[in-house]
């Protein structure tokens, strides 16, 4: 609020902002979410001393520093809700069927490479969970000549920094089964939980905008991709683009997990749908 006057987002600014966000990220704000975008951005406008949303739109369009501002904008407009061991049924299918099958096939081929990608990973709970499940299922895998990569990526640098710290609250760890809590976390002096270094060391974190075709091309030969709870923020065209990018990143026979409430109906016909204990998983 400047000089006591409330800054309001005009429809014109709303459409300009939502188009810019959409063109760069695929995140789509429908008309009924105007208030949400306005609330999320108001603080930024005030903190940075913009007189109004129009000035902010001008800055994002023309300023040489606009790429940096877009990075901050993505921190603000993304919804980053996540937790360890989220949707346990999917994780059980991953641990008990998908992972052993991929490992067995790779061993048979004498090609001991495993590539897992949590895209998007938010504050890190998902890729760290996958690393713990892998260690739990195959405790010796790292000493058996395997080349293992677990990637976690997100568009928001802020959540990635939090993932790099690897420190979590009681709330984040609420679904962690007790044996995993004992084995893979250390309670620190602040009453928070640190993921143990051996787990953190397995996960490579990087900033990847999944809407950026060139950037996603850097990820190839993935055996398993988790792309959960992001597509809900995209419209159909953006979903198609991101899923096509992820399809290309998968190795033949590779698996894709999407959120349990999400579907690729009308989005892609390229995958085979596999049912494992009533959990639907997409296979290339
Ligand atoms: C709700 S979180 C989901 C995290 C985790 N996969 C889970 O299911 O718990 C959604 C994440 O998608 C990220 N995101 C949104 N648009 C993105 C894009 N275009 N590229 C990469 N990440 C994106 C957000 O920053 C946010 O952290």
What does DSSP say about strands 222-227 and 113-118: parallel, antiparallel, or unpaired? parallel
CB 105 within 8 A of CB 63: no
The sign one gets for the Cα dihedral 208, 125, 91, 112 is: positive
Against a cut of 0.85, is the pTM above it?
yes
Q: Cα(229)–Cα(281) distance, rounded to whole angstroms?
A: 14
Residue 1 has pLDDT above 50, yes or no: no
The protein residue whose alpha carbon is closest to atom 2 in ligand 1 is: 80
Residue 13 tokens read as: 């600014």
Question: How many other C-beta atoms are found inside a 10 Å radius of the C-beta of residue 258?
Answer: 24
**Ligand 1 neighbourhood includes 124 CB (under 6 angstroms):** no
**Ligand 1 neighbourhood includes 123 CB (under 6 angstroms):** no
Mean local confidence (pLDDT), 188-209? 97
The domains found in the chain, sorted by start residue, are: 11-77 (1.10.155), 88-283 (3.40.50.150)
If you write DSSP's letter for every residue of 72-86 in order, what string do you get? HHHHHH------TT-
Determine the residue of 26, 88, 120 to mutate for testing ligand 1's pocket, defined as the one with the most ligand atoms within 8 A of the Cβ atom.
120
In which band, very low, low, confident or very high, does the pLDDT at 6 lie, cut at 50, 70 and 90?
confident
In which band, very low, low, confident or very high, does the pLDDT at 3 lie, cut at 50, 70 and 90?
low
Q: What torsion do the CA atoms of 206, 112, 271, 267 make, to the nearest 10 degrees?
A: 0
| Per-residue model confidence as pLDDT tens digits over 246-274 | 999 999 999 999 999 999 999 999 999 99
Assess whether the previous peptide bond of 120 is cis (omega < 30° from 0).
yes
């Amino acid at each position: 609020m400047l000089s006591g006057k409330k800054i309001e987002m005009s429809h014109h600014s709303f459409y300009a902002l939502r188009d810019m966000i959409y063109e760069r990220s695929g995140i789509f704000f429908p008309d009924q979410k105007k208030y949400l975008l306005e609330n999320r951005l108001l603080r930024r406008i005030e903190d940075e001393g913009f007189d109004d949303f129009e000035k902010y739109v001008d800055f994002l369009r023309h300023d040489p520093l606009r790429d940096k501002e877009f990075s901050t904008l993505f921190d603000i407009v993304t919804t980053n809700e996540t937790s360890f061991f989220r949707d346990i049924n999917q994780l059980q299918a991953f641990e008990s069927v998908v992972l052993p099958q991929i490992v067995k096939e790779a061993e048979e081929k004498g090609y001991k490479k495993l590539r897992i990608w949590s895209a998007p990973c938010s504050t890190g709970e998902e890729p760290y969970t996958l690393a713990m499940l892998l260690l739990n299922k195959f405790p010796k895998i790292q000493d058996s000549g395997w080349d293992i990569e677990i990637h976690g990526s997100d568009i928001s640098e802020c959540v990635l920094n939090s993932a790099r710290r690897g420190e979590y609250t009681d709330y984040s760890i609420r679904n962690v089964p007790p044996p995993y809590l004992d084995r893979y976390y250390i309670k620190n002096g602040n009453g928070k939980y640190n993921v143990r270094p051996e787990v953190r060391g397995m996960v490579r974190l990087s900033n990847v905008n999944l809407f950026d075709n060139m950037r996603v091309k850097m990820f190839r030969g993935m055996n398993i991709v988790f792309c959960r709870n992001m597509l809900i923020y995209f419209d159909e065209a953006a979903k198609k683009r991101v899923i096509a990018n992820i399809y290309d990143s998968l190795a033949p026979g590779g698996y894709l997990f999407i959120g349990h409430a999400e579907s690729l109906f009308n989005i892609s016909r390229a995958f085979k749908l596999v049912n494992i204990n009533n959990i639907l998983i997409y296979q290339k």
